[in-house]
Each structure stands twice: as C-alpha cells, then as structure tokens.
Amino acid sequence: MAKNRKKITISDIAKQAGVSIATVSRVLGGSDYPVREEIKQKIIDIANQVGYKPNVFSQMLRKGKSCEIGIVVPSITNPFYSQLLSAAEQECLSQGYVPFICNSMSNQQLELNHLNMLEERNVAGIILSSVNSGDVLIERIKEMQMPLILFDQSFNGYKGDCIQFDFFKGAYLATEYLIQCGHRDIVFASGELDRRSRCLMYEGYKQALKDFNLSVSRRKVIYSFVEEQNFEKKDYYLGQELGKLLMQREYLPDAVVTVNDMIAIGLINHLKKENIQIPHDISVMGFDDIAISEMVTPALSTIHQPATETGSLAAKVLINRIKDISHDTVQILMQPSLVERDSVRKIHKKVRR
C-alpha cells in the first residue's frame, strides 16, 4: 500500500530557501512587504517544484476578507458555458481566489436569488452571464456592494465592466456564408427571442439578407421552447422541436441558421430520423464552436466564439478590479470567426455547353 505523502508546508519551503517562515508567508501570500526579487523568485521556484498548495481559506481568515468569486451562468451542462466556466475557474485559482459556481438554469428569478445569496456570502466579486435583461436586474446590479463583471453578453447602455461577444456580426457571418454558398431560402431557428444575444443574432441574420437583396419575413423564423424538466439537455431537445416544426412545412428551406451548436445538433438528429440528408437536402449552421461540433456527423459548420479567452479575461478583469477599485472601466467586444466544416452544401450552378 502506498504511503500518504507528507503535506508540504511553508516551514519546509523556508528551510530549503534558507529564509524565515515569515518571509515565505509574505511572498506566497501576496503581501506588499518588501522582499528582494532574487529571494522572492527562489521561494516561488521551490514552491512550484515541491507542489505547494496554499490553504486559501486560511489566507482569507488571516486577511480578514473573502477570496471567493461567484460565477453565475445559465447552464453548466451546455458545453459552451462549461468552457467559459473552466477558463474563469482556472484564472481565479491561479490568482488565489476560490470560484463559487452558480447555475441559474436560464431562470431569471433563480439568477436574482443567486446574486442575493452571493452578496450575503460577501464574496470578493461576481462574474455574471445573465439571461435577464429587465430593469429589475439592472437595478439589482447597481445595488451590489462588490465588484461585478458581465461576460458573454451585456445590456444596452451598461456602463460597468463587461466582456461580451459580437452576436450581430456572428449571425451576419453565418447568413452571409450560406448565401455565398448559393442558398437563398434561409430560416432562422431559435428559442424564444427573450435574450439580448438572440435578438442581436436575429438582427444580424436580417441585415445579411437585406444586404444581398433577399426577402426578410417572419415566415422564415421558427422558435420554440421546452419544459424545465428537460433542462440538462434543454437546447438539444429544443433543436429537435425546431426540426419537427421544419418538417411540418410544405417545403424544406435551403438552409437554417441556429443560435447555438446544441440546438443545431438536435435539429440535425431529428431531420436524420426523417430521412433528410445533411447537407444534401438542407444546410445547417451552428453557433459557438463547442468541442463536440467537429465530432458529430456531419461535422458542424459554425461560428467560433472564443469561450476560453472570454472566461479567462473576465476573471482577470474582475480580480484587477478587486485589487484596485479605481481602475478604468473595461468593455471588450470579442469577435466571431467562421468555421467551415461539412454541414453546409456549396451549390454550384451548371455551366452551359
């Protein structure tokens, strides 16, 4: 049986570095107490070599302040938000903060409840991806007693820190690509247009049609919803429901723009059950570029959202705000890019002899 390894302490590091325990504590605890740079680097190198893991909760007690950061997202099962969470969590831990993860389940009231709980818990700061764009939430954010940053999406006129994505441009790129591939009858498939991100995507879709002199009609928009008990696979089931709506039409459209990859995958799988071939019979565009999108058949053409970069950057900005409440407001708009795979058919016109 393997013996339990002795836990490395700051006393062990102090002995190896030839310095006092107090000096090690100051360096690893992030103190402003002056320590010569070569000594500081020596202590950090030894700590990394021996795999020292500080007790962050003890640090919190010693400093008399919280090292917890609340992270609120609409879903922990959607791979896109999992990427955001993982990157934000890693950044928090690397800087000595403990992430406290909250799943709002796309429920506006639950989201508000999480914010109330985090404030009562007196966390150091909050990273929020909101499904709520109402005045109640905006006023609640203004009342928060700790730093807060919005990520993934923001609100019209929001003046605080935010790392958001250009949803309008992303949907424009997706629609433009379908048009350039020869498609003309293009449907926009979504859940209810009750989020700012979805509304911006719808506007981007319409603008691309207008710019290529194609008709814009509510007939080309399909949306649905699924019951809350299906939450873990909510977007996948939503895609299947949207597939059913497509099959109720007299004619299938040339192509479909969806608002996320999980919806696209659900839609494709339902169409396959109906013996519809993708992309031969209909082309499908996803949105997000989650890892599974290139593993399904056909591999999903989609719009890349830099989820990892967004999550990491949001955590960095928030921690900087915690450390220096006076720094300038940070508002960054992350840019989309097109990912070409196999779910879109390129239609070539026949050439006359």
Q: Do residues 103 and 82 touch, judged by C-beta distance below 8 A?
A: no
Average pLDDT over residues 295-309: 96
Mean pLDDT in residue range 144-160: 87
The residue extents of the domains of the chain are 10-54, 66-165+307-334, 167-306
Backbone angles phi, psi at 34, to 5 degrees: -65, 125
CA distance 151 to 318: 11
| Mean pLDDT within 225-231 | 59
Q: Do 195 and 133 form a contact (C-beta atoms < 8 A)?
A: yes
The candidate with the shortest Cα–Cα distance to 205, out of 153, 180, 235, 169, is: 169
Segment 250-268 mean pLDDT: 95
Q: Give the separation between CA 197 and CA 222, rounded to whole angstroms.
A: 16
Q: What pLDDT score was predicted for residue 139?
A: 85
* Spatial separation of the C-alpha atoms in residues 234 and 227, rounded to whole Å: 8
Query: Does 332 score more than 70 pLDDT?
Result: yes
Q: Round the average pLDDT of the chain to a whole number and report it.
A: 87
Q: Which CATH number fits domain 167-306: 3.40.50.300, 3.40.50.2300, 3.40.50.1000, 3.40.50.1980?
A: 3.40.50.2300
Are residues 271 and 247 in contact, defined by beta-carbon separation less than 8 angstroms?
Answer: yes
Superfamily of domain 10-54: lambda repressor-like DNA-binding domains (1.10.260.40)
What confidence score (pLDDT) does residue 30 get?
Answer: 66
- The answer for 248, left when phi > 0, alpha when psi is -120 to 50, beta otherwise, is alpha
Residue 231, pLDDT score:
58
Q: Is the pLDDT of residue 201 over 50?
A: yes
pLDDT, tens digit (0-9, with 9 covering 90-100), for 67-101: 899 999 998 888 999 999 999 999 998 888 889 99
Task: Judge whether 10-54 and 167-306 match in fold.
Answer: no
Assign 351 a pLDDT band (cuts: 50, 70, 90). Answer: very low
Task: Specify the pLDDT at position 353.
Answer: 36
Q: What is the pLDDT confidence band of residue 209, given thresholds at 50, 70 and 90?
A: very high
Mean pLDDT of 28-52: 81
Examine the pLDDT at 352 and tell me if it is beyond 50.
Answer: no
Q: Tell me which of 226 and 81 has the higher pLDDT.
A: 81
Determine the pLDDT at residue 151.
Answer: 92
Choice between 165 and 223, residue whose per-residue pLDDT is larger: 165
- How would you classify the pairing of strands 98-103 and 68-73? parallel
Other beta carbons within 10 Å of 303: 27
pLDDT > 60? residue 247: yes
Compute the average pLDDT of residues 211-230: 81
pLDDT at 14: 86
Which CATH number is associated with domain 66-165+307-334?
Answer: 3.40.50.2300
Mean pLDDT of 246-263: 94
| Residue-level pLDDT at 32 | 64
What is this structure's pTM?
0.79
Residue 61 pLDDT > 50: no
Q: How confident is the model at residue 63 (pLDDT cuts 50, 70, 90)?
A: low
Q: 69 CB contacts (<8 Å, ≥6 apart)?
A: 92, 97, 98, 99, 100, 123, 124, 125, 126, 127, 315, 318, 319
pLDDT of residue 65: 64
